[in-house]
A and B are shown apart, each in its own frame.
Chain A
Amino acid sequence: MNLQVTDLSKSFYRFPVFKSFSLQVESGEKIGLSGPNGSGKTTLLKMISGIMSVDSGEIKIGENNVSPDDTAARKNLYYLGHSVGLYPRLTGQENLAFISGLYGNPETNISAVLTKVGLDFNQNKLVKFYSQGMLQRLKLATVLILDPDILLLDEPLAGLDTEGIQLFESLFNEWKTGEKTMLIVSHDRHWLSSKTDRIIELN
C-alpha cells in the first residue's frame, strides 16, 4: 500500500514545523527519517497515523485520506511510538485484546504472539510494571497481531536488550519479505541506511 503526503503544513505555537511538505512512498518501500531534535520526525509519523491534526495539506494511504472523519485510512497502518501508547492498568494480554478488537481482528492467537516476543511469563502482569524493553516487545507483539501493510516505527530499538534487538531484526526481515511499507525514525544514521531504501533528512 502506498503513502502520499501532499503540501503538508503544520505549526506549533505559530512556529512552522512543516511548510508545503510533500512525500511519495511506494508500496513496499522502506524510508528512513533523520534529522536533529525538533525537526518534525515524530510529528510527521503522528500526522500520518491520525494521532495529530494537520493544519493544511493531504495525506493519502492507498485511495483513502487520513482524516478524523474517515477511519478507512487507519485500517492498515500501525504507529509504534516511543511513548507507551498502552493502558498501564491493563495486562499485556488485555491491551493486545483491546487493540485487536478496535481493529476488528480475531483475538485467538494473542498468547502465541506473546510467546514469540518473549512475554509469555509477563502477559498477566499489569503494563505499569513492565520495563522499557518489555514495553517495546509488547508493541512489537501488537504489530504481529494487527499485521498492518504500513508500519510507522519511531526509534524501534529504544529500550531493547541484545535479545530484544535480535528479535526486532528477525521480525524486520519478515516484514521486509512481506513487502510492508515502512517509515522508520532513528538517530542512528548508519543503522537506518542499512535498513531502508532511502533516507529523508528533515530540518
Chain B
Amino acid sequence: MSFFNYQNNLIHAAVAAALAVINIFIVLTLDPPNLAQGVFGNIFYIHVPVAWTAFLMYLCVMISGILFLTKKDKVWDHRGLAFAEVGTLFMFLVLTTGPIWAKPAWGIFWPWEPRLTTSLVLFLIFLGYFMLREFGGNPEQVSRYAAVIGILAFLDVPLIFLSVKFWLPEMQSHPQVGQYFDSANPLPTYLVIFSFVSLLVVSSLMVRLRTNILSMKEVR
C-alpha cells in the first residue's frame, strides 16, 4: 500500500506543505535581521535552521547506527540511510547558502568559520558514506560498515569544531551569527525557531517516506 494511502501520513504531508509555504513567505517578505545586508540577509532565516536540521539528521544517523549494531534490526539500517540522505541534502543547502550569504555580507565566499567548516567536513565524510553504500559490496555487510561510519562521523564533530575554532584566529574576524539572536529584538529568534520547526516537520516526512520505500524494497 502506498505511503500516502495512510491518513496520518497525509496529515503529516499537509502540515509540512503548509509550514513550508508560510516559511517561504517569511523568508521572501520580511526584513532581514541585519538591514545593511539587504535581501541577502534573509538567507539567515534559511541557512541557520537548515544547518541545525542537517546536524540533527546526522545525529540521528549516529543513533540509528548504534541501534542497528546492537539490535541487528534492519529497520534501523533503513532509517540510518534515510537520515543520511536527508541530512546530506540539507547540508548541501548549508554549503550553498553559506557562500551566497558570506560574499555580500563579509566580502569573501568562504570564511573558514568553524560551523561552516565542520559542515563541509561532515558533508565530505558522508559522500564517502554513500560511495561505501554503493560500491562496498554485499548489502548485508555494507549495512554494518555504514553504521560504523555514521557513528564515526558524528563522533568527529566536536574535535573538528574545536580544532577549526582555534586554528586561525585571524580567519574568525568576520561578524559571528550569534549577534542576530539579540534579545532586544526577539523577532529574528522566533522566526528562526519557527523555520527550524517547519524544517523538522518536512525532513521527518522525507525520512519516513524514504524509510518506507527502503523497507518495501527489502521485502521479497
Residues of A that sit less than 8 Å from B by CB: 11-16, 53, 55-56
Contacts and interface: CB of A to CB of B under 8 A. Distances in A.
A65 B119 CA distance: 42
Contact of A14 (B72, B139, B141, B144): B139
A12 B220 contact: no
B72 A12 contact: no
Contacts of A13: 138-139
A53 B144 CA distance: 10
16 contacts: A11-B140, A12-B138, A12-B140, A13-B138, A13-B139, A14-B139, A14-B218, A14-B220, A15-B220, A16-B220, A53-B140, A53-B141, A53-B144, A55-B72, A55-B140, A56-B72
Interface in B114-153: 138-141, 144
Interface string B143-183: 01000000000000000000000000000000000000000
A66 to B, nearest CB: 14
Contacts of A55: 72, 140
The majority secondary structure among interface residues of chain B is: helix
Contacts of B144: 53
Nearest to B73: A56
Interface of B: 72, 138-141, 144, 218, 220
B184 to A, nearest CB: 56
Given A13-B139, A53-B144, A55-B72, 13 more contacts: A11-B140, A12-B138, A12-B140, A13-B138, A14-B139, A14-B218, A14-B220, A15-B220, A16-B220, A53-B140, A53-B141, A55-B140, A56-B72
Contacts of B138: 12-13
Contacts of B72: 55-56
Contacts of A16: 220
Contacts of A11: 140
Of B140, B141, B144, B220, chain A has the most CB atoms within 10 Å of the CB of: B140
Contacts of B141: 53
Contacts of B218: 14
Interchain residue pairs A-B with the least CB separation, the first 8:
A12-B138, A11-B140, A13-B139, A13-B138, A14-B139, A14-B220, A55-B140, A14-B218
A56 B73 CA distance: 9
Contacts of B139: 13-14
A53 B69 CA distance: 12
A12 B218 CA distance: 12
Contacts of A56: 72
B149 to A, nearest CB: 17
A19 B140 CA distance: 15
A169 B220 CA distance: 44
B166 to A, nearest CB: 39
B138 to A, nearest CB: 6
A15 B139 CA distance: 11
A172 B144 CA distance: 39
Nearest to A55: B140
Nearest to A54: B72
A53 B140 CA distance: 9
A114 B218 CA distance: 50
